């Protein structure tokens, strides 16, 4: 979540401009009364579609049905993968981890932890874009995010499973919650303890929870690209499922890939979705937004589909 706000602003403005380009002319509105300049001088976050997306996540039965169903269907898929010694969800590990104990790798935000309350608070209070980092730190410190529907049941079911050798599935969290030392603070990563506290409040503690939660910036080279941390996991575990809300939770380089390449990859790996790659919905933010902003295309293309949505048949 912490990387999305400037791109939400840019995308929302692009949508607004696209709408203006096709709208019929209207009579000039009366001049508004003079008002004091806002404290952030026009740098307020523009909600755009974020308002509706956040409301959908918080209020719609459809969102909860979708996440619950996704997780429920992932459990028998995981059980099937446990019996296939060659199976791995990590493309770099494929065919090389047969003797390793099993694991699943999960994102946290909007995959396990539901931050829609923070999103709603952000929109309701009219914060400036430059306020986001301290705002996010405040939210993380509360350790009060709810669970994405279905996530708790999936994690508990996964931890209870055993491979044919009797080894338990280890659930490992690879999150882009970032380690940042506060001014004058001695702890280089208070965000990790706060995240662990949140998971424990949800009943997701384990004896190895701290070791199983890999934060952005926690070690040198652990940046936004998650493959570095997946490589660390793959040295000791066979990764049976990857679970996340962003293409970057599954595929190396996806966060920086152009829109057309992301579409091609979606089809190239179509057999993995829903079996080894478990995708949760997140309409509010993500690398899809970043790539759209940088694509040079208008965010909306009325009158024709922007891409071919059906994957070619083999």
The CA distances from residue 140 to 114, 143, 148, 176, 184, in Å, are: 12, 5, 16, 13, 19
Q: Which CATH class is domain 5-9+59-293?
A: alpha beta
pLDDT for 20 equals: 41
pLDDT at 84 over 90: yes
Can you say whether the dihedral through the CA atoms of 85, 87, 88, 89 is positive or negative? negative
Tell me what the mean pLDDT of segment 253-268 comes to.
89
Q: Secondary structure of 117-141 in the HEC alphabet?
A: HHHHHHHHHCCEHHHHHHHHHHHHH
Q: How many helices (H) and strands (E) does the chain have?
A: 10, 7
pLDDT for 78 equals: 98
pLDDT at 52 over 70: yes
Express each pLDDT in 6-20 by its tens digit: 444 444 434 443 444
**What is the value of pTM for the model shown?**
0.85
pLDDT at 32 over 60: no
Express each pLDDT in 197-217 by its tens digit: 999 999 999 999 999 999 999
What is residue 215's three-state secondary structure? strand
Buried b (16+ CB within 10 A) or exposed e, 13-25: ebbeeeeeeeeee
Which of these, 52, 50, 56, 55, lies nearest to 13 by C-alpha position? 50
The CA distances from residue 154 to 78, 199, 282, 285, in Å, are: 10, 14, 18, 24
Tell me whether strands 113-114 and 238-244 are parallel, antiparallel or unpaired: unpaired
pLDDT for 260 equals: 85
pLDDT-derived band at 40, boundaries 50, 70, 90: low
Per-domain boundaries in the chain: 5-9+59-293
Tell me what the mean pLDDT of segment 135-139 comes to.
94
Which of these, 221, 111, 208, lies nearest to 168 by C-alpha position? 208
Asked whether 226 and 249 are in contact (CB, 8 A), the reply is yes
pLDDT for 3 equals: 53
What is residue 304's three-state secondary structure? coil
């Amino acid at each position: 979540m912490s990387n999305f706000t400037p791109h939400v602003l840019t995308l929302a403005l692009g949508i607004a401009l696209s709408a203006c380009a096709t709208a019929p002319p209207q009579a000039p509105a009366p001049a508004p009364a003079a008002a004091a300049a806002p404290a952030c001088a026009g740098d307020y976050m523009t909600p755009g579609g974020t308002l509706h997306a956040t409301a959908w996540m918080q209020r719609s039965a459809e969102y909860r049905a979708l996440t619950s169903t996704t997780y429920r269907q992932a459990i028998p898929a995981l059980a099937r993968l446990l019996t296939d010694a060659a199976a791995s969800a990590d493309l770099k590990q494929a065919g090389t981890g047969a003797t390793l104990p099993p694991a699943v790798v999960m994102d946290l935000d909007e995959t396990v932890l539901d931050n829609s309350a923070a999103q709603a608070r952000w929109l309701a209070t009219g914060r400036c874009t430059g306020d986001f980092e301290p705002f996010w730190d405040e939210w993380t410190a509360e350790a009060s995010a709810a669970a994405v529907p279905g996530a708790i049941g999936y994690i508990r079911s996964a931890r209870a499973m055993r491979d044919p050798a009797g080894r338990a599935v280890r659930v490992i969290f690879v999150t882009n919650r970032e380690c940042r030392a506060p001014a004058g603070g001695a702890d280089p990563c208070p965000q990790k303890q706060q995240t662990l506290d949140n998971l424990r409040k949800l009943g997701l503690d384990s004896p190895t929870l701290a070791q199983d939660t890999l934060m952005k910036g926690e070690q040198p080279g652990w940046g936004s690209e998650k493959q570095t941390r997946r490589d660390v996991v793959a040295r000791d575990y066979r990764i049976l499922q990857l679970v996340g809300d962003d293409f970057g939770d599954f595929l190396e380089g996806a966060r920086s890939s152009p829109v057309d390449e992301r579409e091609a990859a979606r089809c190239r790996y179509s057999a993995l979705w829903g079996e080894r790659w478990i995708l949760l919905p997140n309409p509010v933010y993500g690398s899809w937004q970043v790539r759209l902003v940088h694509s040079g295309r208008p965010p909306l293309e009325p009158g024709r589909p922007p891409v071919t949505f059906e994957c070619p048949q083999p």
